[in-house]
């Protein structure tokens, strides 16, 4: 009887602990691309940005997800950050050679950390402003200034429901492709995040327009030690200046 009672008690304790383990919440720490979770999955990913027209058009909607070589979104997901005004740019080319730097400003959206034994925990953060900086490199070819590669850097910040704060930065991302009326057969591959339209739902089959690329180097800081009573977005951002 004692063994049966012990087994019952242990079973009930396990049932109580399982929900807690499944929803551990975000964990304070600094994490980067070298950190691995269960199964040795690197903290890297892929991204897409939807636009309303094949070549251009507002709004722009960002969707980025983790990528383990075969599965999207097993670790994290950034959805529905929206840019309602055209990006700004600075043209640094001299005689057609050099760079153009594009700055995109997105507002809102969420960052979801999925449960799965990752060292950073899990939860959903509401995002403030997301900034992306795309540097496009140009060379002269046949008397024409032509782009030959690009690098994307960016950052965002937000707050989890429990009060933990987060910043998420990327570096050395790269553009892979984009839709164009000049190449109508060029479409986003299925192993990149789905295009989300201005409603934050999957874009219609006749509106699959935008760009896609890789997220290579990531740094994420989670802080669950700061009191958040009465906090504002301005106060939160001041912590990371």
What local confidence, expressed as pLDDT, does residue 138 receive? 98
Measured at the CA of 211, the angle between CA 209 and CA 32, to 5 degrees, comes to 140
Contact 102, 21 (CB under 8 A): no
Select from 160, 76, 155 the least CA-distant residue to 118.
76
Contact 134, 175 (CB under 8 A): yes
What local confidence, expressed as pLDDT, does residue 212 receive? 97
SS3 breakdown of the chain: % helix, strand, coil, rounded to 5? 10, 50, 40
Cα–Cα distance, 5 to 212 (Å, whole number): 57
| Domain spans, the chain | 24-238
- Only one residue has tokens 């999955």, namely 41
Contact 64, 78 (CB under 8 A): yes
Each residue's pLDDT, cut to its tens digit, for the chain (241 residues) gives: 444 444 333 433 343 334 434 457 999 999 988 765 445 556 789 999 999 999 999 999 999 999 888 889 989 999 999 999 999 999 999 999 999 999 999 999 999 999 988 889 999 999 999 999 999 999 999 999 999 999 999 999 999 998 999 999 999 999 999 999 999 999 999 999 999 999 999 999 999 999 999 998 899 999 998 654 444 445 444 444 4
Which H helix or E strand runs over 100?
A: strand 98-107
Select from 231, 216, 225 the least CA-distant residue to 66.
216
């Amino acid at each position: 009887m004692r063994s049966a009672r012990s087994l019952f008690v242990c079973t009930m304790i396990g049932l109580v602990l399982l929900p807690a383990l499944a929803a551990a919440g975000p964990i304070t720490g600094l994490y980067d691309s070298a950190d691995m979770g269960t199964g040795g999955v690197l903290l890297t990913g892929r991204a897409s940005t939807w636009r309303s027209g094949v070549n251009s058009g507002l709004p722009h909607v960002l969707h980025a997800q983790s990528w383990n070589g075969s599965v999207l979104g097993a670790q994290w997901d950034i959805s529905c950050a929206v840019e309602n005004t055209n990006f700004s740019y600075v043209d640094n080319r001299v005689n057609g050679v050099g760079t153009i730097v594009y700055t995109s400003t997105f507002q809102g959206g969420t960052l979801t950390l999925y449960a799965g034994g990752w060292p950073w925990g899990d939860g959903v953060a509401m995002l403030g402003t997301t900034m992306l900086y795309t540097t496009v490199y140009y060379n002269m070819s046949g008397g024409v200034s032509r782009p030959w590669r690009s690098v994307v850097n960016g950052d965002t910040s937000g707050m989890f429901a429990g009060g933990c704060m987060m910043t998420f930065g990327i570096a050395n991302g790269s553009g892979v492709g984009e839709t164009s009326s000049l190449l109508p057969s060029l479409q986003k591959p299925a192993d990149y995040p789905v295009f989300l339209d201005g409603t934050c739902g999957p874009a219609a089959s006749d509106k699959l327009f935008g760009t896609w690329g890789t997220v290579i180097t990531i740094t994420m800081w989670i802080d669950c030690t700061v009191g958040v009573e009465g906090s504002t977005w301005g106060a939160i951002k001041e912590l990371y200046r």
